[in-house]
Amino acid sequence: MANKLLMTPGPTMVPERVLKAMARQPIHHRTRDFGEIFNSMNVKLQEIFGTKNYVLTFPASGTGGMEAAVANLFRPSDKVLAVSIGVFGDRFAQIAKRFGVDVDMLSYEWGRSASPEDVVARLKERKYKGILITHNETSTGVINDIKSICKSIREVDSDILIVVDAVSSAGGVPVDVDANDIDVMITASQKALMTPPGLAFISVSERAWKSIETDPVSYYWDFNAAKKGLQKSIPDTPYTPAISLIVAQNEALSMIMEEGLENVFLRHQKIAAATQAALNSLGFELFADKSDSSPLITAVKAPDGFDVSRFLSLVDRQGVVLTGGQQHLKGKIFRIGHMGYINKEFLLRAFEAIEMAMVEMGFNIEKGISLKTIDETLV
C-alpha cells in the first residue's frame, strides 16, 4: 500500500527520520537510557510551550489531555466558562460536564473567532474557577487571538485558571504559555509536532498546582504523580509510558529545534498564505474571515453544487487525503491541513490532485494555475 500524503487536521505527515527513531526496539522505561531521552524531550517541549513549568506527558491522544486537565483542576459544581468556536470547543465543554463541572458556554457561530470583549463581559457577570478555550479550531480553520484573550482575562481576573487547548497549534505558531500567563496548556504529538498520535503534553502553572488535589478522581491522569516522576534524578512516569512514541517525539522536536522555532513559525505562515492564494486562483473562497484564518489549517467553502464527498474521493485517488466538514458543516466545506512536516513539495502535490479532481468534476479551470500561484508565492 503506497503512502498517502496527509493534509488533514491530524495526523499529519511524519518525517522519515522520526519514523526511523520510532522503529527502534523499545527500551525499558525505568532505565537511565529512557530517562535521558525523556528529559531531552521535556526540555524541548518547554521551549515550544514557552514555559518554565513542568510539561507532563500522558500515553493518550489530545482528547485525553483535555480530560486530564479537567480531572485535575475541577471538582463537581465548580463554575467554568467554556469558550467554543467549533467542534473542539464543544468537546472541551462536554468533557467538563461529564465530570459534573458547572459549565457556562460562550459559543460563536462556526467560522468566527472569540472576542476578548465578549469573554471579559462574561467574566464580569459571574465568578468562574476556570476558563476553557481553544487556540486553533481545526473544524473551522479559525485561530483565536490567544494573546489578546489572555491579556483581557487577566485584566479582570487574576485567579481564574486559563486552560488552553493548543492541540493543533503548539509547534506551528507561538503559544507563549508564560508570557500569556496560561495555567494549563494541552497539546498532542500528531499535529504540528510531527509524530504519530498517542501522546498528550500538558503544562501546569504554579497557580494551577495550588488548586490541584493530591488524589484527583482519576488515577491515570494524576498530575501530581506525573510531576513526581519528572522530579526524580532519572525522570520517569507513574506507569508504563508510550515509549516508542516518546523516542519518536524526541526526534521530531530535535528537527524543529534544528530548523529553529522562529523559522518553523514563518514556514507555517508562508505555506498558509500560499494555500490561500492557490485556492483563490481556483475560484474558491475561504470559510473563515481572512483575519481569523488559521496558519495551520484552511477551511474552504464548497461552491454551490460542489459535491465535497466526490471531490475528497477523487483527491484521495491521487494519493492525497483532505477532509470534509464536521456536523452541520458536512458537505459545506472541505479542509486542507498544513501543519507540522509541511513544505512546498507537499503543497504542490496536494494542489495537483485538487486540480485533477476539479477537471474530473467538470470545472473549467486553467490547468496549473494553482501550482503556478504556489510557485510564485513561495519564493
Q: Which of residues 101-160 bind its own copies (CB under 8 A)?
A: none
How many other C-beta atoms lie within 10 A of the C-beta of residue 56?
Answer: 27
Confirm whether residue 335 is marked as ligand binding: yes
Please tell me whether residue 198 binds its own copies under the rule CB under 8 A: yes
Contact status: 340 vs its own copies (CB under 8 A)? no
Smallest gap, in angstroms, from Cβ of residue 67 to its own copies?
Answer: 4
C-beta closer to its own copies: residue 152 or 168: 168
Q: x/- binding map, residues 164-193, to its own copies, per CB under 8 A? A: ------------------------x-x---
- 321 near its own copies (CB under 8 A): yes
CB of 340 to its own copies, least distance (A): 11
Candidates 77, 206, 214, 215; binder of its own copies (CB under 8 A) is: 215
3-state SS record for the chain: CCCCEECCCCCCCCCHHHHHHHCCCCCCCCCHHHHHHHHHHHHHHHHHHCCCCEEEEEECCHHHHHHHHHHHHCCCCCEEEEEECCHHHHHHHHHHHHCCCEEEEEECCECECCCHHHHHHHHHHCCCCEEEEECEECCCCEECCHHHHHHHHHHHCCCCEEEEECCCCECCECCCCCCCCCCEEEEECCCCCCCCCCEEEEEECHHHHHCCCCCCCCCCCCHHHHHHHHHCCCCCCCCCCCHHHHHHHHHHHHHHHHHCHHHHHHHHHHHHHHHHHHHHHCCCCECCCHHHECCCEEEEECCCCCCHHHHHHHHHHCCEECEECCHHHCCCEEEEECCCCCCHHHHHHHHHHHHHHHHHCCCCCCCCHHHHHHHHHCC
The least distance separating its own copies from the CB of residue 186, rounded to whole angstroms, comes to 12
Q: Which is nearer to its own copies, 100 or 303 (CB)?
A: 100
Distance CA 130, CA 378 (A): 42
Q: Is the peptide bond before 11 cis (omega within 30 degrees of 0)?
A: yes
Among 27, 212, 273, 348, binds its own copies (CB under 8 A): 27
Report 238-257 residues binding its own copies (CB under 8 A): 238-245
Per CB under 8 A, which region of 8-16, 114-122, 303-311, 357-365 contacts its own copies? 8-16
Which position among 216, 229, 235, 295 is part of the footprint of its own copies (CB under 8 A)?
216
What are the beta bridge partners of residue 337?
A: 297
Q: Which of 41, 56, 95, 192 binds its own copies (CB under 8 A)?
A: 95
Question: Rule CB under 8 A: is residue 229 a binding residue for its own copies?
Answer: no
Among 38, 49, 54, 99, binds its own copies (CB under 8 A): 99
Which residue in the set 40, 46, 63, 148 belongs to the binding site for its own copies (CB under 8 A)?
A: 63
Q: Are 240 and 64 in contact (CB under 8 A)?
A: no
Contact flag: residue 260 with its own copies (CB under 8 A):
no
Stretch touching its own copies by CB under 8 A, among 62-70, 111-119, 258-266, 343-351: 62-70
59 is an interface residue for its own copies by CB under 8 A:
yes
Q: Which residues bind its own copies (CB under 8 A)?
A: 1, 3-4, 6, 8, 10-11, 13-14, 19-20, 22-31, 33, 59-64, 67, 91, 94-95, 98-100, 188, 190, 196-198, 215-220, 238-245, 316, 321, 323
Please give the annotated binding residues for substrate, written as ranges: 335
Please give the annotated binding residues, written as ranges: 335
